[in-house]
Amino acid sequence: MTGDDSSAPDFLDLVPDREGGPERLLLGIRRFDEPFLLTVSLSQGVGSSELWLDRGRAGKARLAEFRRANRRVLLVVLNKHFLTSGDAAAVRAGQESFAVSVVWSGPVLREEEGTVVVDATGLVLYDHDRVAGHLEDEGQGEYALDAATSLPLLADSRTGPAATRLPALLTFRGPGRGAALRAVAADPRAVSVVQQLNLLRLPESPLPARRYHPASGGYGIGYADHGLAGRADIQVKVQPRFRAEPGGAGVVFRVDPAIPEPFRTAVVEGGNWWREAFARTGLPDAYRVEAAGPDFDPYDPAVNGVVWVHRSGRGWSLGQGLTDPRTGEILHARVRLGSQRVDQVRALGEALLAPYGRPDEAERLAAVEELVLARLRLLAAHEIGHALGFMHNFASTRHPAPSVMDYPHPRVTVTDTGELDLAHAYATGLGPWDHFLVAHAYGHFADEERELAGLRRAAAEAGLVYVSDEDAQGTSAAHPDGVPWVTGGDALQALETVLRVRRIALEGFSRGVLPPGRQTGELEERAVLLHLLHRHEVTAVARLVGGVRYGYAQAGDDAPGGEPVDAGTQHTALNRLAALLRTDRLGLPQAVLDVITPPAIRYVRTDQYFDTGTGRLPDPFEAVRTAVTLVTRELLDPARLGRVAWQHAADPAMPGARDVVDALLEATWLSDEEHRAAEVPGRPGVRDTADWTVLNHLLTALDTPGLPAPVRATLKAALRALAVRLRERGGEQRVEAAELIASYLADPRSVRLDPLPRVPPGAPN
């Protein structure tokens, strides 16, 4: 590992151990009381998508320094969230006001030519990334670092003028009972990883900080500067960005040679989409992505790497940047691409096209392969975008062209002959929002504040809506425009389109959705993908009910406040969601029931299957319960019910909480029989299962934390009215439901409700 100036002295010296004996790591330190960045990564991971302890994992950067204390050296982690500016007295007051952390101390062995030699074995044999705590947090049990089977990897240690890397084999011992560890570890009682401890010098010439604006689309990092108290806002936030100067060395990402072809070429192609944006910003040579050679070292802090990661299970890819906490300068970036994404996308493509055994099998398989490559191009652009300092934008399906920083679901179209077409499943290249991101973060301006404000104003006038994670993810999210994984801007139309695609794919379901060498139990996984294909569009339509549009701004900006979705659209959305509870949209079609089987011997049901209460057999009842839950979990979310209730109180034309409940009940328990007589396999079972699933969720919602008291009262009143109507209609199922409602409202402890159905994961796609 070398810095820019190979003639400069190394940051730390790796000192040979003259005494021999037990393997020790000796460091020579010549700089004390000088802050540097302390980071940690894993080069040997655990391999579970559930645990996130992957190859290439990069922990958060900490600000640290070495201090001398008599005959010992201390490693002190500074509080980077509180950096006080001002004169010496102000800085001292800030330093003494907030706690630091001494995470290691080691004895001074000797001093030679201004260098202090210490035994730093304990420094590297330390759980800097909190692996043991993470395993416990994830329910894998209590693990502790085992000193007897942990050791510094001296031969792999590196140092240079800019950084020092100190790897160590760390073994954690624990009970070995956690399911996630049992699935991937050779012996889950002894889990060994390789930790790379990196110590990096901060730039001597800091990059000028660019003040963060919430509408910039970039990450905002910062600290509290109490030296500004009484003069300015003490919360300092800056926008992370690389140093990209005209005529400079440029930002280069190198792609792991472990990525096989043709996937590696797709990653390089997609990553290079950003070059156009840098060129438009006046930096044509400031950025590129290239395939790395066989000597690629993904853990070298001087390399921005795109690393290929293998995991067990459905998992996410990530793009991370290591930043100077003082200025936001990105000093190093690492992207992790999960290889399992290839199989996830291919499985969806095969489920849609059912290519195997068809006369045009070759053409269909070619379409599936192009789907995978198109997704990898977009994935590479997306994760490198994060590494460049950009956040998600989940509203870009409303833009003239989508952003690569969105989560895309493949756009499947239907041909004139009723065939499914994947040719335009994913967009190619950057959208206008992506060009804005690069201009705002990396542009050079004569009057920075004024010209940045002009960029933001132009983006808003062009209709480039921006909605990121906290306002887009989860059932309680309110913004109707920021929904991940959707296929189009008009949620109502997109739902109808995806339902048509879903119907065609399910009706054409056969063993041809699976390669002929795979065991037939996996057919259910493919059926799950199709049965729940509309899940994200359900979320988008539900977001219209009680939805509120708003933007990110500062108080001095000319920006609107919150604006509820209009009443007409809300009522339409509610009706469309209730219509999804029709029997023909809930049960599995005969084409699926005829071919799915239990997993073969030596295979197991994974979380990609439906749960089952029918032994080893696939459970058609659970498929119905899950499809109903897609609707009820959205509409009965306590935050949504609270918003709906308040909007209705302010404007009676808006749907209220009672309207939501009534829509669910009119589609199930109170529906006319002739409207539920669709010709689907097991129609009475589908109908009754939907009824009981809705009722179970309504009763469960009564005791959901956070449900506003007026909404709880409305739900109780609706259930009492339902009980009366069910008794009036008569019939064994209805009378039983009425008695259940009465018992629960009288004493919830007297009734055992079913747990809400588990919906198999559908992301990432």
Model pLDDT for residues 538-594, shown as the tens digit of each residue? 999 999 999 999 999 999 998 889 999 999 999 999 999 999 999 989 999 999 999
Residue 299 pLDDT greater than 60, yes or no: yes
Model pLDDT for residues 243-283, shown as the tens digit of each residue? 998 888 889 999 999 999 999 999 999 999 999 999 999 99
Percent of the chain with pLDDT over 90: 89
Model pLDDT for residues 49-72, shown as the tens digit of each residue? 899 899 988 888 899 999 999 899
**E strand or H helix at 102, and its extent?**
strand 101-112
pLDDT at 615: 94
Residues 176/189, Cβ–Cβ less than 8 Å: yes
pLDDT at 356: 98
Residue 532 pLDDT greater than 60, yes or no: yes
Model pLDDT for residues 112-154, shown as the tens digit of each residue? 888 999 999 999 999 999 999 999 999 999 999 999 999 999 9
Which residues are CB-contacts of 641 (< 8 A; sequence separation ≥ 6)? 546, 635, 657, 660, 701, 707, 708, 711
Which residues are CB-contacts of 635 (< 8 A; sequence separation ≥ 6)? 542, 545, 574, 577, 641, 660, 663, 664
Q: What is the mean pLDDT of residues 491-519?
A: 97
Residues 638/707, Cβ–Cβ less than 8 Å: yes
Residues 42/129, Cβ–Cβ less than 8 Å: yes
pLDDT at 301: 87
What are the structure tokens assigned to 293, written together?
């050679």
pLDDT at 3: 39
Residues 76/64, Cβ–Cβ less than 8 Å: yes
Q: What is the mean pLDDT of residues 306-323?
A: 92
Q: What is the mean pLDDT of residues 414-428?
A: 96
Q: What is the mean pLDDT of residues 327-331?
A: 96
Model pLDDT for residues 184-234, shown as the tens digit of each residue? 999 999 999 999 999 999 999 999 999 999 999 999 999 999 989 988 899
Please name which of 249, 329, 330 lies closest in space to residue 286, comparing C-alpha atoms.
Answer: 249
pLDDT at 674: 52
Distance between start and end Cα atoms, the chain: 37
pLDDT at 488: 81
Please name which of 704, 700, 695, 697 lies closest in space to residue 739, comparing C-alpha atoms.
Answer: 695
Model pLDDT for residues 11-38, shown as the tens digit of each residue? 999 999 877 667 899 999 999 999 999 9
Question: pLDDT confidence of 470, banded at 50, 70, 90?
Answer: very high
Model pLDDT for residues 353-406, shown as the tens digit of each residue? 999 999 999 999 999 999 999 999 999 999 999 999 999 999 999 999 999 999
Residue 754 pLDDT greater than 80, yes or no: yes
Beta bridge partners of 158: 165
What are the structure tokens assigned to 661, written together?
């409940």
Please name which of 239, 294, 318 lies closest in space to residue 41, comparing C-alpha atoms.
Answer: 318
Question: pLDDT confidence of 5, banded at 50, 70, 90?
Answer: low
* DSSP reduced 3-state for 623: helix
Classify burial at 619, counting beta carbons within 10 Å of its beta carbon; exposed 0-12, middle 13-18, buried 19 or more: middle
Model pLDDT for residues 685-709, shown as the tens digit of each residue? 999 999 999 999 999 999 898 899 9
C-alpha separations of 714 from 97, 478, 667, 708, 711 in Å: 51, 21, 19, 10, 5
Distance CA 481, CA 476 (A): 14
Cβ–Cβ contacts within 10 Å for residue 548, how many? 16
Distance CA 664, CA 582 (A): 11
Cβ–Cβ contacts within 10 Å for residue 553, how many? 16
